[in-house]
Amino acid sequence: ELSKWRPEVVELWEKCSVPEAIDKETFQKSFIRHVNTTLARSIYNVDNFSAYQATAHAVRDRLIQRWNETQQIHTERDQKRVYYLSLEFLLGRSLDNALLNLGLKDAFGEGVKELGFKMEDILGQEVDAALGNGGLGRLAACYMDSLATLCYPAWGYGVRYTYGIFQQKIVDGYQDEFPDYWLNFDNPWELPRVDIVVDVKFGGHVNKITEGDTVRHEWVGGETVQAVAYDVPIPGYGVKNCINIRLWSSKPRRKFDLGKFNAGEYDQAVQEQMKAEFLTAVLYPNDNHMVGKELRLKQQYFWVAASLYDMWVEVRRFKKSQRDWNEFPDQVAIQLNDTHPTLAIVELQRILVDEERLGWDEAWEIVTNTFAFTNHTVLPEAMEKWPVPTMSQLLPRHIQIIFDLNLFFLQKVEKFAPGDRDFLARLSIIEESTPQYVRMAHLAIVGSHRVNGVAKLHSKLIKETIFKDFVRFYGPDKFENKTNGITPRRWLHQANPKLSELISETLGHKDWLKDLSLLKKLEESVNDKEFRRRWIAVKHSNKVRLADYIRDVMDIDVNPNALFDVQVKRIHEYKRQFMNILGVIHHYNNIKSMSPEKMRNVVPRVVIFGGKAAPGYYIAKLVIKLINSVASVVNKDTNIQDLLKVIFIPDYNVSVAEIIVPASDISQHISTAGTEASGTSNMKFVLNGGLILGTVDGANIEIHEEIGDDNIFMFGHLAEQVEDLRYAHRYRDVTMDPHLNAVIKDIESGSFGEARIFAPLINTLTFGKDYYLISDDFGSYLDAQKLVEEAYKNEKDWAKKSILCTANMGKFSSDRAIKEYAESIWGTVPVEV
Ligand code: CBF
């Protein structure tokens, strides 16, 4: 027996380890120790940022301890694990979340106060971990919170981008992009694992080796880049479980070419290093849009290859006696967050066939039983496909495997529908164009045992449109719906502490944070005048907080008593921020034409926008310019008596969302029907008692079902009408709604700056045949806005609606979504520490 395992030694280890329970004094000691030793500072030069770092390190100590215990228990229990592969994790800030999930916020808050700091100042120092574009990345972050809270043995795998999503500044009304140097300062929320390094290969060639009557393939040569692991602990709420997101960073195998250096080729001596490090340098800033860059494909393979290798090591280590490979899917479930990680399917098949020497069919059975695929969009421009020549060059063995898989798959299709060439071509993993392309969604479907959409309508649409042929071939059971969810811990408890407190006080417990359906009981208080008064007061204080933020960052005063009308999300034509600003112009002109008496009837309104446009998305960037141009006219027009303000909050991100969401009275989710797969900000707003104005699209539909007709403003055409409307636009001139026409004329007359600037935007409605159907929905949009205004005038009824919204949001917890995935797709059970 090793001497370090003797009972007295174990006891000593336990005595000396970081204390599990932590009170104010223990925290303060830990804080000061970190200031002195980790940061090499003292009482004389510790500023707010150092105080943040010291607090973060004190929290991190506890997280690591829980992380270790969690990994240990999961290893001992040896139960099926789920691996969530996501190219994006939009985590935002970690300190506040960790303090709340660990139940340390009060003790630490008191502790820092006595040491001379304010907790809010400390929390404000943290930079967002913005390793994602929007909904998809934030969904992954919410799911990790739920996986930890529900104690599932789960890991996330992603990429540690050196630069996250760009920072947005508004210059002369236009979006300007700046790099996001989030790693410039120390990042206490990651643990570099310099010992966990995986070699990832690109290029080279494939040898075909015949051994007796079997043939095997060997992938040799090429360039090797190393993947280094960084672990990000994710604590569950109210449990000891703390799970892991492993992010990969690229580095060269060889730092420096001494030969080249000695030969005087100084630039080339470090070239390999620079090239390798560049691989994980940037997050591609496109949302719902495919970018066909070779580097992106390299990023994808780099990440899935390192992750699979890592899982492999884990799986092997845990299985003392090597089990039968067929049991692999009983031990491992891999969820593909969109098509970005689809190469993992091919990589696993390659490992099993080429390295483990399993038969092709046996290997494929294992692969398909292991993977499941979530689709997040039906937009054609977002569908990933890679040119076969590019893939052949980068991944010569994988392209062979893809062609073989396709051949065997199409043989089955041929048997199913003999002679139907079109059907075969439509289902094929390879698009027969010049050059040929690999269709990643097809590969993901063929290689997975389950495919799911992210809201009821979206799951129905994928079955009826983009994946229709697959449904015919496989039958409907392979396709499921898993409506998205959000974590109530971050999106209510953390972002809206006052509302959280009021809810807990009213319900008499905090259990709702782990079972959101318990909010339903709030309905009983809807007629309680005092409760309503407090509810309204909380909303008001959140609006004051947002007004303060707007003053700080934009130097504009807004009236917190006005109706706060919010649309914050990525700027995209299908999300129709354009329609919103056109509506604002209509409203502005309307107010201008009113007599003073009539004006008294108008509800003062602050229209708030926020969101980033992909740097290459010209039309989306013009929408930002138009919003800012309208804002600069409206905001200084004293004739309208402060009845309207237009605000574009720059650099919208998770932390900014945490201030905006609790402050909204009404938020807009107004995508063309059938285009927004789900949306998740709609859920965040409603959970915080904000009403929504929305189209019959994505999760709006299910929110409507839950909260009822009286508490939501829906408008616009339905998804099933879209095709006909577009057809009509194509063959006839677009008929403009008269109000829309007037607004367009106004822009064209130069009321909001040089008209020619906005011509390309207006052209999308006319020459562009109004693909997103603004002209068709504009009338009903204005009508719905009128209803919002009327309803807001009745404070009592509005408060009731607001309470009923929150009370009926139980379904939209990410805990519900994760349980559904675990039960019907992964077959995993919780293991609580
Ligand atoms: O499912 C999460 C979100 O994903 C997207 O953001 C995406 O990137 N495809 C969709 O656009 C959202 O509708 C969806 O909520």
Out of 678, 683, 684, 702, mutate this one to test ligand 1's pocket (max ligand atoms within 8 Å of CB): namely 678
201 an active-site residue?
Answer: no
For residues 403 and 267, give the distance between their C-alpha atoms in angstroms, rounded to a whole number.
Answer: 40
Binding-site residues, ligand 1, Cβ < 6 A: 134-136, 139, 287-288, 376-377, 454, 484, 676-680, 698
575 an active-site residue?
Answer: yes
Identify the pLDDT of residue 375.
Answer: 98
Please identify every stretch of the chain with a pLDDT value under 70, giving residue numbers as ranges: 1-2, 255, 314-322
E strand or H helix that includes residue 129: strand 129-131
Angle formed by the axes of helices 343-350 and 294-318, to 10°?
Answer: 50
For residues 802 and 539, give the distance between their C-alpha atoms in angstroms, rounded to a whole number.
Answer: 10
Closest residue by Cα to atom 4, ligand 1, is 136
570 CA: nearest ligand 1 atom: 6
For residues 712 and 700, give the distance between their C-alpha atoms in angstroms, rounded to a whole number.
Answer: 9
Residues 6+ away with beta carbon under 8 Å from 743: 582, 585, 586, 589
What spacing in Å lies between the alpha carbon of 512 and ligand 1's midpoint? Answer: 26
Identify the pLDDT of residue 254.
Answer: 75
Q: Are 112 and 25 in contact (CB under 8 A)?
A: no
Read off the DSSP letter of residue 592: H
Whether the predicted interface score ipTM is above 0.95: yes
Identify the pLDDT of residue 326.
Answer: 84
Q: Which residue has the tokens 């590969």?
A: 443
- Say which of 34, 80, 289, 376 is annotated catalytic: 376
What spacing in Å lies between the alpha carbon of 679 and ligand 1's midpoint? Answer: 6
Query: What is the DSSP track for 152-211?
Result: --EEEEEE--SB-SPEEEEETTEEEEE---TTSS--TT-EEEEEEEEEEEES-EEEEEEE
699 CA: nearest ligand 1 atom: 15
Q: How far is CA 230 from CA 188, 245, 302, in A?
A: 11, 8, 15
- Looking only at the bridges linking them, the beta strands covering 563-568 and 242-252 are unpaired
255 an active-site residue?
Answer: no
Identify the pLDDT of residue 325.
Answer: 81
Read off the DSSP letter of residue 87: S
Closest residue by Cα to atom 15, ligand 1, is 679
680 an active-site residue?
Answer: yes
293 an active-site residue?
Answer: no
Which pair of tokens denotes residue 314?
């884990």
569 an active-site residue?
Answer: yes
What spacing in Å lies between the alpha carbon of 599 and ligand 1's midpoint? Answer: 40
Identify the pLDDT of residue 791.
Answer: 98
Q: How many helices (H) and strands (E) does the chain have?
A: 35, 24
135 CA: nearest ligand 1 atom: 6
Domain ranges for the chain: 78-93+128-483+820-826, 488-791+799-812
Identify the pLDDT of residue 828.
Answer: 97
Q: Are 491 and 684 in contact (CB under 8 A)?
A: yes
For residues 417 and 426, give the distance between their C-alpha atoms in angstroms, rounded to a whole number.
Answer: 12
- Say which of 478, 569, 739, 811 is annotated catalytic: 569
Topology alike, domains 78-93+128-483+820-826 and 488-791+799-812: yes
What spacing in Å lies between the alpha carbon of 138 and ligand 1's midpoint? Answer: 9
Return the CATH architecture of domain 78-93+128-483+820-826. 3-Layer(aba) Sandwich (3.40)
For residues 540 and 561, give the distance between their C-alpha atoms in angstroms, rounded to a whole number.
Answer: 8
What spacing in Å lies between the alpha carbon of 281 and ligand 1's midpoint? Answer: 24
Q: Are 658 and 92 in contact (CB under 8 A)?
A: yes
Which pair of tokens denotes residue 379?
């937009």
What spacing in Å lies between the alpha carbon of 724 and ligand 1's midpoint? Answer: 25
- Looking only at the bridges linking them, the beta strands covering 371-374 and 450-453 are parallel
- Helical H segments across 635-754, by residue range: 654-660, 681-687, 700-707, 719-731, 738-748
What spacing in Å lies between the alpha carbon of 288 and ligand 1's midpoint? Answer: 8
- Say which of 684, 729, 739, 800 is annotated catalytic: 684
Name the class of domain 488-791+799-812.
alpha beta
